[in-house]
Chains A and B, each alone.
Chain A
Amino acid sequence: MKTEEIKVCVLRVGGTNCDFETARAFQELGVQAEIKHINELVKHGNLLSYNMLVFPGGFSFGDYVRSGVIFARSLNAKLGKQMKQFIDENRPILGICNGFQILIEYGLLPEFEDIDPYSQAVLTTNNPQGFKCKWVYLKNENKGNCLFTNKIPQNKILKIPIAHGEGRFLFPVEKEKQLLEKLVDNDMLVFRYCDENGTPANGNYPINPNGAYHDIAGICNKEGTIFGLMPHPERAMYWWQEPDWTSKIHTNPYGDGKLLFENIIINIRNMQ
């Protein structure tokens, strides 16, 4: 499949607010990315006409209850069948920030056995509490399963910003060791918060900005096709988005976020 034939659906509802820059990141790399309101898709569209689905960041439906839960439930109710086929056909799905929360609430992540409406994980209130907008370092700990990172060298450190109040990844306390083991064994662990040298935060604030268990910033499903992360790669797409670009000499027109978008496009291109 040619790059320009790839169609990406950036799905939005009321309160989604990172759709524009997310679509822009894909368009920059030559694929077709369309921003669609869920109502448009229900009325006139078909999810299956897209090769990839993205849940961008924002505060879907205000996130007045658990973040992402209303989007996930309404999507299941409105487009559940198309979603199932989309997933069964292993078409890639990306969730960024609120999108990650939606994937968890839909039960698509971590998805150890099957899609489970009662997710095994949660993204909860930051510790320390409160919304934080800042740049963090991420270490790619995936061994090649994740279709969004398998072209990025293992242990590579990426610099990407976060902006969230509820991004603390947790497993149920009584099962956390066991589930973490499963996550690692199935190569579903993707990004961990680390310092600029790649040393994991080990839970220490502010390197781990939200208190996430095992410094988890992003995970994928067993098949590696569904990927969710709290940081915003679309805000690290270009060099001029970096917070210290004024002190650097630019040889690369892009930021680290581009690696993720590029990675999945290469994989989609090779799929069919």
Chain B
Amino acid sequence: MNSNIYIRSATVNNVLEVALTTATDAELVDINSELSLGLSFDEMKIVQAYFKTENRNPSDVELQTISQTWSEHCCHKTFRGKIIFEGKEIDSLFKTYLAKVTKEINAPWCFSVFEDNAGIVKFDKGYGIAAKVETHNHPSAVEPFGGAATGVGGVIRDVLGVWADPIACTDVLGFGPLDFDYNLLPTGIKHPKYVYRGVTAGISAYGNNMGIPTVNGAIYFDESYTGNVTVFCGCFGLLPLNKYIKNAKAGDYIVMAGGKTGRDGIHGVTFASAELTEKSEEVSRPAVQIANPIEEEKLKRAIIIIRDRQLASATTDLGGGGLSSGVGETAERYGCGVAVELSKVPLKHQGLAPWEIYISESQERQLFAVPPENLDAVLAIFEQEEVEATAIGQLTPERRLKLTYQNITVADLDMTFLFSTCTTTKTATLSPPVFNEPDFAEPTDLTQTLLQILEAPNIASKESVIRTYDHEVKGNTILKPLQGKYAGPNDAAVLKPLENSWKGLTISCGMNPNYGKIDPYWMAASAIDEAIRNNLAVGGRRIALLDNFTWGNPEKTERLGSLVRACQACYDVAKTYRTPFISGKDSLYNESPMGPVTPTLLITAIGIVPDIRSTVSMELKTPENLLYILGNTYPEMGGSEYYKLKGHLGASVPKLQPVKARKNYYNLTKAIGYGMVKSCHDLSEGGLAVAAAEMALASNIGMTIDLKAVPAKEITRNDSILFSESNSRFLIEVSPKDRYDFEALMKNSCTLIGEVTDTKKLQIHGLNSNLIIDTDLSQLRAAWKKTLTAEA
């Protein structure tokens, strides 16, 4: 490093003055890369101009602070910036689509959306539910166990950051094929099996140790996840709404509590906002933090006590960006400045430079604003819980960020400047390749085909992973991820959060990355529909959504174009369904030497059931009950598991008719409310055949279905009716005594297609009335459970 540019501070150890004001353009580029700032050239120029007006050079602490605050991860340049698409300017994807639909729906039960660490909806008896889903892709690619564990830890702290007591976690994971050929693996990319084991172990270690049940999730396998593992971690919390206190003011102490600060997690956010390369392992290993769930468990206890006694005026988690984002954002949010003495920060080991202390992302740390009169009480609570807590500074009336180290100023920045920049303009284009529908003969043995689809990794039972997650701790999991004796796959989790209320919380998810290869708009629409279907199937209603985007590099116009299309679908579908978005998070730059990630939108849906006793599960209940299908089946096989099995992608991606679907959903919810629905399962991957198989194998009673009765006007092939993945469909079990009431209520949307039998067989008759699928439940179960065993 050039000693003319980096000048050691004469007054304080480990601080450099950077000769920025006199730097040439070439030197600006060097400084940016040598300090790993991750800023664009334009941004470097803005920073240079700022320090010219301040008439001095910045310290490295200041440059790192700016770098963190302006990173994609912290300020979401892509979602909040301008985008030129199809000749029009979109001023912020976030404002134009996601926030807009929430605003337009204007649901009175939304308590806090998009503002804080987590979204909050009203629940019951003065309580609210906080919800947040995070991505932790890059860290999990470099260090699967630590990356996933700290992903869980981070999202739990987000929920604590809105004063909520975490009551459930969810995890949706994307891996490369577990049988990926080692010889084809580029240098620096870890084998999917290694990543799969590490990530699932990390999730189980964190959630189990903290005593928060992991109640819902999904595991997807896709080639593109080989280089870009995808890890979504969700957390849901309960809070008394009158204890949601956020009113910090100048004079309040800044208290940090929890784990000590070390060199783990340096430059995590800049790392998250760049593509993975073969050197990521070597260069970015320190960007992954080390997890210690017990520290967070203790922190959680203290936070809940402080909340209940209303002793603090604000809290936020220290995650991406560490103190730099937690301290800066707290001051910004309450219109203050802040003064922090960095030497007061408890360290894991000596020798950290002030800039490292300020941006370290060491785990299990939380920030509080505490009015001076409550400081002693707050510190006493931490002491009892054996959590280290330290007042490191104070909010100030003057709008400056002042950092000192051993009482010597190392940063003094104008808050307005620090939080002003973030507008970029990017260009988006869309020119999708042309996809063709494959042409092949219908298989002669469809029973065999069904068994093969049940073995497909995306459909196969995830029991071997789910059982390593404690999904019952806290004792309030009403509907578990695995249903009953035969461990069938439930559509959504249901929790009973309050002791004195039968009201339930429903949590579900939807994700269809394979459709995204064909059309990002319909992929997003399908993900929303699937998440909502899963929620409705168990009796959920009043649904709110969370969006999580995992995308490729947005600098590439094609990738950005597909992101725009997905956001448009979010607006259109959510608007029609009247399901507001309450929180979201994007992870961009998911590119590796193996190429970009398949555009992936995870939709998480949370709803309520008025009374958990009316919750509907997916296993068949009683022989002679009737089976209805809700919705129409279209020849929509593009991106389906069936085509995948046959080695095709196809073109006919499932579309959505939300206006029609909404009416049907409304009636279904009514039928569930009247107790007419004995079991219900949504039709998703693998279509009707897989849904039917799952309902049967989860119980020990069989069913017969007649494909002739299935409303599928445009289809003339058995395999298409069996495996089409058309949206907005359910399979519903109804008692014969409710037949006429149910049919009257559902009007023409539901069609009787079969019945529950006491044969322990799944039997499906084809269009020509022949028995085309005929198999024992034990055979279905064996196929479904054989792929992902504990040894896989």
Please name all residues of chain B whose beta carbon is closer than 8 Å to the beta carbon of A241 when the two chains form the complex: 472, 475, 477-478
Residues in A with CB closer than 8 Å to B758 are: none
Partner of B619, one of A128, A232, A247: A247
B471-494, CB under 8 A of A: which get 1 and which 0?
111111111101111000000000
Closest residue to B387 on the A side, CB-wise? A14
A150-206, CB < 8 A from B: 161, 163
Tell me the minimal C-beta distance from B222 to chain A in angstroms. Answer: 26
**A58 in contact (CB, < 8 A):** yes
A117 at the interface (CB under 8 A from B): no
Q: 19 other contacts beyond A15-B209, A17-B209, A133-B472, with CB at 8 A cut-off?
A: A14-B297, A15-B294, A16-B211, A20-B474, A21-B474, A37-B385, A39-B386, A59-B293, A59-B294, A59-B297, A132-B468, A133-B471, A163-B208, A232-B472, A234-B475, A241-B478, A246-B484, A246-B615, A247-B619
Min CB distance, B489 to chain A, in Å? 13
Q: What residue of chain A has the Cβ atom nearest to residue B494's Cβ?
A: A240
Within 10-49 of A, Cβ neighbours of B (below 8 Å) are at: 14-18, 20-21, 24, 37, 39-40, 43
A244 at the interface (CB under 8 A from B): yes
27 contacts between A and B (CB under 8 A): A14-B298, A16-B211, A17-B209, A17-B210, A20-B475, A37-B384, A40-B384, A59-B209, A59-B211, A59-B293, A62-B293, A62-B294, A133-B466, A161-B472, A163-B472, A232-B472, A234-B475, A237-B475, A240-B613, A241-B472, A241-B477, A243-B482, A246-B617, A246-B621, A247-B617, A247-B619, A247-B621
- Taking the closest CB of chain A, its distance from the CB of B143, in whole angstroms, is 19
Residue of B whose beta carbon sits closest to that of A43: B384
CB distance from A96 to the nearest CB of B (A): 12
Proximity bits, A227-249, B CB within 8 Å = 1, else 0: 00000101101001101101100
Q: Would you give the shortest CB distance from B632 to chain A, in whole angstroms?
A: 28
B499 an interface residue at 8 Å Cβ cutoff? yes
The winner among B473, B477, B615, B617 for most chain A CB atoms within 10 A is B473
A133→B292 CA distance, assembly (Å):
21
Known contacts A14-B294, A24-B499, A240 near B472 by CB under 8 Å: no
Q: Return the chain B residue nearest A58 by Cβ.
A: B211
Is A163 in contact with B496, judged by CB distance below 8 angstroms?
Answer: no
Closest to A133 in B: B470
A240:B478 contact, CB within 8 angstroms: yes
A80 at the interface (CB under 8 A from B): no
Closest to B484 in A: A244
**How distant is A71 from chain B, measured CB to nearest CB, in Å?**
12
Q: Return chain B residues, CB-CB under 8 Å to A133.
A: 466-472
A17 to B478, CA, bound (A): 19
Closest Cβ of chain B to A29, distance in Å, is 14
CB-CB nearest 5 A-B residue pairs? A17-B211, A21-B475, A246-B617, A62-B294, A244-B484
Question: Which of A16, A132, A240 gathers most chain B CB within 10 Å?
Answer: A240
- Interface of A (DSSP majority class): mixed
A24 pairs with B484, CB closer than 8 A:
no
A61 an interface residue at 8 Å Cβ cutoff? yes
Nearest opposing residue in chain B for A245, CB measure:
B478
Give the chain B neighbours of A247 by CB distance below 8 A.
484, 617, 619, 621, 699
Complex CA distance for A152 and B566, rounded to whole angstroms: 59
Min distance, Cβ B660 to any Cβ of chain A, angstroms? 29
B612 part of interface (Cβ distance < 8 Å):
yes
Contact yes or no, A39 B384, CB < 8 A: yes
A residues touching B (Cβ–Cβ < 8 Å)?
A: 14-18, 20-21, 24, 37, 39-40, 43, 57-59, 61-62, 128, 130-134, 161, 163, 232, 234-235, 237, 240-241, 243-244, 246-247
In the assembled complex, the CB of A81 is this many whole angstroms from the nearest CB of chain B, namely: 22
With a CB–CB cut-off of 8 A, which chain B residues contact A18? 211, 473-475
What separation, in Å, do the CA atoms of A43 and B297 have in the docked complex? 22
Q: Separation in Å of the A57 CB from the closest CB of chain B?
A: 8
Whether the pair A235, B297 counts as a contact (CB closer than 8 A) is no
| Chain B hits for A235, CB < 8 A | 472-473, 475
- How many residues of B are counted as interface, with CB atoms below 8 angstroms from the partner's CB atoms? 45
Other-chain contact of A130, B210, B468, B474, B699 (Cβ < 8 Å): B468
C-alpha gap A58/B699 in the complex (Å): 32
Q: Are A62 and B292 in contact (CB under 8 A)?
A: yes
Q: Which residue in chain B gives the minimum CB-CB distance to A15?
A: B294
Cα A20 to Cα B619 with chains together (Å)? 31
Q: How far is the CB of A108 from chain B (nearest CB, A)?
A: 24
**Cβ contact within 8 Å between A131 and B208:** yes
Q: Which residues of A contact B553 (CB under 8 A)?
A: none
- Smallest Cβ-Cβ distance to A241: which chain B residue: B475
Whether B485 contacts A244 by the Cβ 8 Å rule is yes
| Minimal beta-carbon separation of A104 from chain B (angstroms) | 20
Rounded to whole Å, the gap between the CB of B617 and the closest CB of chain A is 4
Q: Are A163 and B616 in contact (CB under 8 A)?
A: no
Chain B residues, Cβ within 8 Å of A61: 294
Residues of A within 8 A of B469 (CB): 131, 133
Interface contact B475-A243, CB-CB below 8 Å: no
**B204 close to chain A: CB less than 8 A:** yes
- Give chain B residues whose Cβ lies under 8 Å from the Cβ of A240: 478, 496, 612-613
Q: Which residues of chain B from 271 to 292 have any CB-CB distance to chain A below 8 Å in the complex? A: 292
Min CB–CB distance B185 → chain A (angstroms): 26
Partner of A243, one of B294, B385, B484, B496: B484
Chain A CB within 8 A of B790 CB: yes
Q: How far is the CA of A192 from the CA of B514 in the complex (A)?
A: 47
| A134 x B467 contact (CB < 8 A) | yes
- Give the residue of A62, A132, A244 whose beta carbon is less than 8 angstroms from that of B209: A62
A62→B205 CA distance, assembly (Å)? 10
Min CB gap A206→B, angstroms:
10
Selected contact of B483 from candidates A40, A132, A134, A246, CB within 8 Å: A246
Q: How many angstroms between the C-alpha atoms of A37 and B382 in the bound complex?
A: 12
Closest A residue, CB atoms, query B472: A235
Specify which chain A residues have a CB less than 8 angstroms from the CB of B499 in the assembled complex. Answer: 24
Residue of B nearest to A57 (CB): B473
Residues on the B chain within 8 Å of A24, using CB = 475, 499
Q: How far is the CA of A204 from the CA of B204 in the complex (A)?
A: 25
The complex places the Cα of A127 from the Cα of B613 at a distance, in Å, of: 37
Q: A238 CA to B26 CA in the complex, in Å? A: 70
- Whether B467 lies near A132 (C-beta < 8 A) is yes
Measured CB to CB, the nearest residue on chain A to B297 is A15
- Given the complex, which residues of A lie within 8 Å of B298, measured CB to CB? 14-15
Q: Tell me the minimal C-beta distance from A224 to chain B in angstroms.
A: 27
Given A17-B297, A59-B294, decide whether A246 and B619 contact each other with a Cβ distance below 8 A. yes
Q: Within the assembled complex, what's the spacing in Å between the Cα atoms of A16 and B211?
A: 8
Q: Which residues of A contact B385 (CB under 8 A)?
A: 14, 37, 39
Question: CA–CA, A130 to B613, complex, Å?
Answer: 33
The interface residues of chain B lying within 8 Å CB-to-CB of A40 are 384
Q: What per-residue 1/0 map shows which CB atoms of B486-522 lie under 8 Å from chain A? A: 0000000000100100000000000000000000000
Per the bound structure, the CA–CA distance linking A44 and B209 in Å amounts to 28
Bound Cα distance A232, B208 (Å): 14
Kindly list chain A residues whose C-beta atoms are within 8 Å of the C-beta of B615. Answer: 246
In the bound complex, residues from chain A placing their C-beta under 8 Å from that of B211 are 16-18, 58-59
- Return chain A residues, CB-CB under 8 Å to B209: 15, 17, 59, 62
* Residue among A58, A128, A246 making CB contact with B790, cutoff 8 Å: A128
Most A CB contacts (10 A, CB to CB) among B385, B469, B472, B482 go to B472
Q: How far is the CA of A243 from the CA of B612 in the complex (A)?
A: 14
A73→B621 CA distance, assembly (Å): 51
Most chain A beta-carbon contacts within 10 A, residue among B208, B385, B616: B208
Smallest beta-carbon distance B616→chain A, Å: 7
CB distance from A146 to the nearest CB of B (A): 23
Which residues of the other chain, A, contact B466 by a CB distance below 8 angstroms? Answer: 133
Contact A14 B470 (CB under 8 A): no
Q: Which residue of A lies closest to B209 (CB)?
A: A59
Interface centre among B474, B482, B699 (most CB of A within 10 A): B474
Residues of A within 8 A of B480 (CB): 243
Closest to B504 in A: A240
